[in-house]
Amino acid sequence: MSNPTTPRARAREQTMRDIVRVGRTHLATDGAAALSLRAIARDIGLVSSAVYRYVESRDELLTLLVIDGYDELGDAVDAAVAVVPEGDHAGRLRAVGRAVRAWALAEPATYALLFGSPVPGYHAPSERTTGPGTRVIGALIAIWEAAWLDGSLRVDEGAIAPRRLSRDLARIRREAGITAPDALVARGMLMWAAVFGCISFEVFGQYGADTLTQPGDLFEHHLRVLEEVVGLG
């Protein structure tokens, strides 16, 4: 959010923060489809009509919650990576995975909004959500690229088949501004998808209640396997 300088601007900023904060509480108790701006207004002491001066619709509220969730997750990942030495690429990859998992387990409703089933009738505006939403993959890409540049990664640089996929991967490399080969980009995308897949299984109870004594043990094993997948094992 902005850095307001006048009392009126500061008051508006605080109200916006309150709307997001209470909105996330309602998200956890009522679910995304049942969010009500009027109910949120009541909880923060606004008359129901006044809330629309701050947030014009339920979709706008969902967008604010999506951005807030992505930014909070991105901040958690950045903080976790920052305490791991730059040359410890495997340690940094593990830090990303652990940070995402810890945040997801602490904020399952917001995680579900970001990575679960789409909210009926809602489409997140890409111009506002793509930046915050790509912070985690951005952190992973930075780690893979650093490992590639210092020679820590072992990966076959051969061409990816089919040609269409190779073109897609080359475009991704250009857009990300990285030099790592297509094969590493493809393996990195597998790690990205697998990390979130493993976390989603745990958050949404897909393993079953009595299958695992400690799901974190399996997640740590998966992280080690995925390090090998990208060439750090």
Q: What is the pLDDT of residue 159?
A: 64
Superfamily of domain 64-230: Tetracycline Repressor, domain 2 (1.10.357.10)
CA 81 to chain centre: 14
In the chain, list all ranges with CATH 1.10.357.10. 64-230
pLDDT in tens, 20-73: 999 999 999 999 999 999 999 999 999 888 999 999 999 999 999 999 999 999
Q: What is the pLDDT of residue 86?
A: 94
For the entire predicted model, the pTM comes to 0.93
DSSP 205: T
For residues 152 and 85, the answer to whether their CB atoms sit within 8 Å is: no
Q: What is the pLDDT of residue 160?
A: 72
| Apex 98 CA angle, 93 and 100, nearest 5 | 100
Of 177, 204, 172, residue with least CA distance to 188: 172
Q: Please identify every stretch of the chain with a pLDDT value under 70, giving residue numbers as ranges.
A: 1-3, 157-159
**Architecture category of domain 1-56 in CATH:** Orthogonal Bundle (1.10)
In degrees and rounded to multiples of 5, residue 174 shows phi and psi of -65, -45
Q: What is the pLDDT of residue 5?
A: 78
Q: What is the pLDDT of residue 155?
A: 78
Distance, in Å, from the CA atom of 24 to the CA atom of 40, rounded to the nearest integer, reads: 10
In the chain, list all ranges with CATH 1.10.10. 1-56
